[in-house]
Structure 1
Amino acid sequence: MPIVTWDGSLAVGHDMIDEHHEHLVELLNKTYDEFCDGKSRKSLETVLDELIDYATYHFAQEELLMDKVAFPASEEHLTEHAFFIRRIGEIQKEFLAGTSAISLEIITFLKDWLVRHISQKDYELGAYASAHEGKPVVIDLD
């Protein structure tokens, strides 16, 4: 049973971003399913690695898009990405060291952060990028 359902409410209106988000939701749901099914630490380690790798790739692609369209809120967006990467890195480090386990609290944090980030920050980026992609960027030097 998924912890997040991919539907139109999470779409931001930009094909690349929406495809990436759909895959991130799938990976989060896979992590949740493996947790609920009591899978081995090794299995959870593998899916957590996959989630981190894909999130890192996705953030890099969003950051390239922000540069391409001169997204005005990119600094705040980058700060959120850095926070998530730092936090999930801490979770992974503690898990690999055996000092913590993947818990419902951790999965809920991941879900809440992802849904909030998509519905707020990425929605703004998707709308802006869709409106400005392929258009020349005008910089006011005044």
Structure 2
Amino acid sequence: MESATNGKTLPDFEDPINMPIVSWSDEYDVNIDKIDKQHRHLLQLVNDLHSAVEARIDKDELKHMLVGLVEFTRTHFSTEEQLMEQHDYPGKSSHLREHKMLLRHLSDLVAAVSQGKYPTFYSDYDVSTDWALLHIEEYDKPLGIYLNHKRNQ
């Protein structure tokens, strides 16, 4: 399976069950209010899912949470894609490929849980946590710079 992290790793996070696995920092702001709000919500969903996996919640509940993550991720990606289209973003094609790959991976996780498999946090689930911050850094920040530059022209 392709890695949404492109071989890169995030800094080590402390991982007690009661702490978020992914914490928001202003360094992740892309300075597009709607996108930043969605990113914060996305990270909250990732943290909630992490807690659920660590607590070994019922597979049906886990599937419901994963489906919610997929649905919100689609909504978020749609927001970004509309902005890319409206503003003729030159990095659109690679950004869209990344969206497609990430959604495929999340859908694969839903399918695995539907088949009775329970993801382990640091194997099946790792890309589902890491991708959020890596995607922001590698794809959304350049989009934010481009959109803010166009807005300030």
TM-score normalized by the length of structure 1? 0.88
Match of 1:109 in 2: 127
Of 62, 66, 72 in structure 2, the residue corresponding to residue 54 of structure 1 is 72
Please, what is the CA RMSD of the aligned residues? 1.4
* Paired amino acid for 1:25: L
* Paired amino acid for 2:58: S
- For the pair 1:81 / 2:113, whether they are aligned, the reply is no
Divergent runs of 4+, >2 A: none
Aligned sequence identity (%): 28
Higher Rg: 1
Paired positions, count = 134
Match of 1:34 in 2: 52
What secondary structure is seen at the aligned counterpart in 2 of 1:106? coil
Deviation at 1:134, TM superposition (A): 8.4
Distance, in Å, in 2 between the alignment partners of 1:9 and 1:90 is: 30
Match of 1:64 in 2: 82
Distance, in Å, in 1 between the alignment partners of 2:90 and 2:124 is: 32
Distance, in Å, in 2 between the alignment partners of 1:71 and 1:85 is: 21
- For the pair 1:45 / 2:63, whether they are aligned, the reply is yes
Distance, in Å, in 1 between the alignment partners of 2:21 and 2:109 is: 19
Distance, in Å, in 2 between the alignment partners of 1:84 and 1:129 is: 23
Of 91, 103, 108 in structure 2, the residue corresponding to residue 90 of structure 1 is 108
Match of 2:27 in 1: 9
* Paired amino acid for 1:77: H
Gaps of 5+ in 1: 136-142
- For the pair 1:129 / 2:147, whether they are aligned, the reply is yes
TM-score normalized by the length of structure 2? 0.82
Deviation at 1:18, TM superposition (A): 0.6
Q: Please list the CA deviations of residues 25-55 of structure 1 after superposition, one character each: whole Å capped at 9, or x if unmatched.
A: 0000000011112211122111111100000
